[in-house]
């Protein structure tokens, strides 16, 4: 863990600030990650045990300048398991210093485009890099059909690389599985993964996932309104990574939408407010709550302090305001 005075942490932040430019300095400084969690850095040794890396922390389908699209990685003994595949997930893995060839599992929570836009691209780009071992993908229907159609869409590239580069057919490496109910998803020598059906209308089923390893338990809410099934899945977990919505900024978010009234109702019916997130985490008895999938996710006025003030009164454990490439 880096401390606020850690030289490596200062170098990481300095490089990020320089790349963003002077105009972005105040917003970035206000939103810098706390010392309890650090940006993943390919130049530093991997921490022992199970690693959690937030690859992208924005909510919603449109690209954001401040946050990447939703995706997270759980790394166990060098094997990478990805939860959700928002736009740019493969590059975020590269920025986190994770080999695409280490990918062993993909877990899609639901079929909104901010969560599955790069599902196929992640697999294709891992295959084009150094993927040589099978990958199991899990998610709601029609995940199998989506996988087949994506491979057909890219048939020209695939045929060319097989013939020109001697690669194996990616269809032999990708094993898609469809989930229709909660329960145990997979258990291997590294990790046990369980799912719960959460409430994210109109999409059904939508899933939350819990990863139990030798040293940690990590739960991902996916997109959901407050859910009793999620609370039970997360009971006593070390970490709960939960979506969050800040109601006071809702009107500004939807002001430019032609269907503002319908979008407002969807957000209220299908997501979890900051106050509700704190209460869910408290009821589940989790040790650490990590805010993720921020709605709004592109407003620089919503600093870490704003999010913390909205959630902290309702949760007394460790509270982490998620940032892209943060490792916990």
Query: Is residue 7 classed exposed, middle or buried when 0-12, 13-18 and 19+ CB atoms within 10 A define those classes?
Result: exposed
Q: Is 305 labeled as catalytic in the residue annotation?
A: no
Per-residue buried b or exposed e for 223-250, using 16+ beta carbons within 10 Å of the residue's own CB: bbbbbebbbebbeebbbbbbbbbbeebb
Q: What are phi and psi of 218, to 5 degrees?
A: -130, 130
Contact partners, residue 23, CB within 8 Å, separation at least 6 = none
The secondary structure element, H or E, covering residue 193 is strand 192-200
Please tell me the number of Cα atoms within 13 Å of 9 on its side-chain side.
16
Write down the catalytic residue from 114, 223, 238, 324. Answer: 114
Contact 83, 109 (CB under 8 A): yes
79-83 and 103-107 strand pairing? parallel
CA distance 286 to 240: 7
Kindly list the catalytic residues. 114
């Amino acid at each position: 863990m880096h401390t606020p005075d850690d030289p490596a942490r200062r170098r990481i932040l300095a490089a990020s600030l320089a790349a963003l430019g002077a105009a972005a300095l105040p917003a970035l400084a206000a939103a810098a990650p706390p010392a309890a969690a650090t940006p993943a850095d390919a130049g530093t040794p991997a921490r022992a045990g199970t690693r959690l890396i937030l690859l992208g922390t924005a909510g919603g389908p449109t690209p954001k300048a401040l946050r990447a699209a939703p995706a997270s990685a759980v790394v166990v003994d060098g094997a990478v398991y990805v939860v959700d595949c928002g736009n740019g997930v493969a590059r975020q893995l590269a920025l986190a210093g994770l080999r695409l060839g280490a990918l062993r599992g993909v877990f899609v929570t639901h079929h909104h485009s901010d969560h599955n836009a790069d599902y196929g691209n992640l697999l294709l780009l891992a295959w084009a890099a150094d993927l040589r071992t099978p990958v199991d993908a899990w998610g709601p229907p029609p995940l199998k059909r989506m996988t087949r159609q994506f491979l057909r869409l890219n048939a020209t590239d695939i045929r060319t690389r097989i013939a020109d580069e001697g690669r194996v057919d990616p269809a032999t490496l990708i094993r898609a599985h469809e989930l229709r109910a909660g329960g145990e998803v997979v258990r291997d020598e590294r990790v046990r993964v369980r799912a719960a059906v959460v409430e994210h209308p109109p999409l059904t089923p939508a899933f939350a996932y819990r990863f139990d390893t030798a040293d940690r338990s990590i739960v991902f809410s996916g997109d959901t309104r407050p859910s009793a099934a999620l609370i039970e899945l997360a009971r006593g977990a070390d970490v709960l990574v939960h979506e969050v919505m800040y109601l006071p900024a809702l009107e500004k978010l939807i002001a430019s939408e032609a269907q503002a009234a319908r979008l407002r109702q969807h957000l209220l019916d299908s997501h979890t407010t900051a106050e509700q997130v704190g209460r869910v985490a408290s009821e589940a008895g989790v040790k650490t709550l990590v805010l993720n999938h921020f709605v709004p996710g592109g407003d620089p006025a919503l600093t870490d302090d704003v999010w913390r003030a909205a959630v902290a009164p309702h949760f007394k454990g460790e509270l982490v305001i998620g940032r892209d490439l943060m490792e916990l």
